Amino acid sequence: MTVVDTEEFVVLLDEQGRQVGTAPKVSVHHQDTPLHLGFSCYLLDGDGRVLLTRRALVKRTWPGVWTNSCCGHPGPGEPIEEAVRRRAHHELGLRIEEPVCVLPDFRYHAVAADGTAENEICPVFVARADGPVRPAADEVMDWRWVRWQELRAAAELPWSISPWAAVQIPLLHDTGAVG
């Protein structure tokens, strides 16, 4: 029997956004999280609604918090668009075609109540989704299709959504990519 290594790795970055190494995902999120590469994605349905998800309670960072449709980390050498598709399928059971990067230079640092920090260069994507949402229980505990105006209102109350989404939503509105 062959054992498959399923440990996820993230791409570590320097201050200029250049790759400087990799690290196991389970080891990077703590009080002094190193800068690493992530992504966020906002999925739209045929009616122009945005999929809002609530992170599962077992998530290491921001458990139980409402946020964008899906997010994650590309693996070493993985094209980021492929990582977006992989995570949309893994987290939500959705297949997406062409994720479009609308905020390529988005970067954030946020600290959760327990002291765990996020520290990412996090390009933001928008994509169309088709089919029923079938969330993975260890990733998503709840979800809703919402109108863009509802999501914009949530960003006005930053305690109601993840810190990265609270910053991304007004920027997305400014690009005209959503809404």
**CATH number for region 7-171:** 3.90.79.10
pLDDT tens digit at each of 179 positions of the chain: 444 456 899 999 999 999 999 999 989 999 999 999 999 999 999 999 999 999 999 998 899 999 999 999 999 999 999 999 999 999 999 999 899 999 999 999 999 989 999 999 999 999 999 889 999 999 999 999 999 999 999 888 878 899 999 999 999 999 888 87
Catalytic residue, chosen from 41, 71, 81, 122, is 71
Burial class of 9 by CB neighbour count within 10 A (0 to 12, 13 to 18, 19+): buried
Q: Was 36 annotated as part of a binding site?
A: yes
Tokens of 164: 């990265």
3-state class (DSSP) for residue 83: helix
Consult the annotation and say whether 120 binds a ligand. yes
> What is the structure's pLDDT at 5?
52
Task: Please indicate if the annotation marks 118 as binding a ligand.
Answer: yes
Q: Which two tokens stand for residue 127?
A: 């994509």
Name the active-site residue from 41, 70, 81, 120. 120
Report the distance separating Cα 5 and Cα 19, nearest Å: 22
pLDDT for res 55: 96
Ligand-binding site membership of 73 (annotated): yes
Strand residues in 30-177 grouped as ranges (E):
36-37, 39-44, 50-55, 66-67, 70-72, 95-96, 100-103, 107-111, 117-121, 124-130, 140-146
pTM passes above 0.75? yes
Structure tokens at 99: 């994720």
Pairing of strands 39-44, 124-130: parallel
Contact call for residues 50 and 43 (beta carbons, < 8 A): yes
120 is annotated as an active-site residue: yes
At position 169, the amino acid (one-letter code) is I
